[in-house]
Amino acid sequence: MQMVRDMRERVEASTTLPPTLVMRVMISEADQLSAKHLFKQSLERGEAAEKYWRERELPVTSDMLWLYEGIANSASSLGDSVRGEAAYRNAIALSEKLHDRPHRETAWFIGLLGSYLVSLGRVDEAEPYVVNGLTMRRQTYGESARETLFGIGALSRLRALQGRNEEAIRVLAEGIEICARSALDSEACVRLLQTRGRLYGGEGNLPAARRDLEAAIAMQKRISGEGSAMIASQLAYLAEVQRKEGNLHEAVASADTALALMAGAGGGHFADAAVARLQRSWANLALGNHQAAYDEMAAAEPDFSRASPQNVRTRVAMKSVAAAALAKLGKADEARSLARSALDLAQGSKGIDREVMKSLHATAGADE
């Protein structure tokens, strides 16, 4: 990393090197920072590269596509959904100018935008991007390519958000079988295992959920190392399974580790951090640490709701834990008010956890 930074500083100071070479070095540094989950620094370098490109009126090349991908990934990881979405759309528009369809780069960026819209809970908007992106990836990359496997993961998450869990698990099983058949250690395969583990956990199949999440963690460690922030996401969801198993101290420890790994990488992905904090708060509530449970959600929920307003499922869960903690702290009126606001938010939304809804109705004093 230091070598790339030193090279970038030398080329930026040079008055003789081609501007396109300077751009490539700047993009390379931004990519390496992003790979280490140093999203703030990566975004700063990416935006500096974009400014350099615009000021010099450099030609549109594939380099700009990957620059926009890096900007989108870093911005969205930091919770800036407006900047993230704009960068993904810029990448698609530039790719359409550069390439005739079907093309690998266009397929990649269409699918990325679809996956991002799924993460924001914008299901109807996401559908055509996810489906068309996956179809084009299969045409241009092939069935067993990591790019296609990422698209399969996006489709499964979309179907799950649509309440079509059986179809989502079937899609995941096909992708995981491809990974096993090809003996792939890939982050795409990690994500498939992680997503299936989450779905199994949501259905109450905790042994299967733990098995998939532990397999995902083991694979990610082989890819990126024991202390990698890339493991944090799987640990956050493992904490959920441990909590549901009743292994509350294990859940707190997994969430603590996930958050420590993300902090060491400059903060990690905001949504993964939210999941880890939610599970830690929930476990603390069950352990009787009511003030700690409330304080965590009082700090985390407003920021998450601003960054991802359409992720109603997580927002409702956060409010549910905070309301239950307030009730335990003897603040009944505040608890009822918060629970009722959460029930209002949940109306019409699919996939809200039954445990969450039961808790909210009990706290609000409402009929289920």
Count CB neighbours of 33 within 10 A: 25
Q: Helix and strand tally (H, E) in the chain?
A: 18, 0
pLDDT for 354 equals 84
Tokens at 243, concatenated: 């909590």
Same domain, 285 and 202: no
| Pair (274, 359) in one structural domain | yes
Closest-CA residue to 301 (of 309, 337, 85): 309
Q: What is the pLDDT of residue 275?
A: 94
Which residue, among 322, 312, 302, 304, has the nearest Cα to 344 in the 3D structure?
312
Q: Rounded to 10 degrees, what is the CA torsion of 6, 12, 13, 15?
A: 140
CATH number for the domain harbouring residue 123:
1.25.40.10
Amino acid of residue 32 = Q
Q: Mention every residue, 6+ apart, whose C-beta is less than 8 A from residue 352.
A: 312, 313, 316, 346
Q: Could you tell me the CATH number of the domain that includes residue 366? A: 1.25.40
Question: Of 69, 98, 127, at which residue does a domain stop?
Answer: 98
Residues of the domain holding 157: 117-216
Residue 109 falls inside a structural domain: no
* Residue 311 is assigned to a structural domain of this protein: yes
Nearest alpha-carbon partner for 63 in 105, 117, 33, 108: 105
Burial track 217-242 (b if 16+ CB lie within 10 A, e otherwise)? bebbbeebeeebbbbbbbbbbbbbbb
Residue 368: the pLDDT is: 46
Give the Cα separation of 46 and 76 in Å (integer). Answer: 13
- Amino acid identity of residue 29, one-letter, is E
Residue 284 lies in a domain: yes
Give the position of tokens 């199949």.
205
- Statement to judge: residues 22 and 125 lie in one domain: no
User: Would residue 3 count as lying in a domain?
Assistant: yes
Same domain membership, residue 255 and residue 358 = yes
Compute mean pLDDT per 10 residues along the chain, 368 residues long, and list them. 54 67 88 85 92 89 91 90 94 94 95 93 94 97 95 96 93 96 91 96 95 97 89 95 97 97 81 94 97 97 89 93 97 96 88 87 76
Of the candidates 48, 115, 105, the residue with the CA atom closest to the CA atom of residue 271: 115
Write down the pLDDT at residue 309. 87
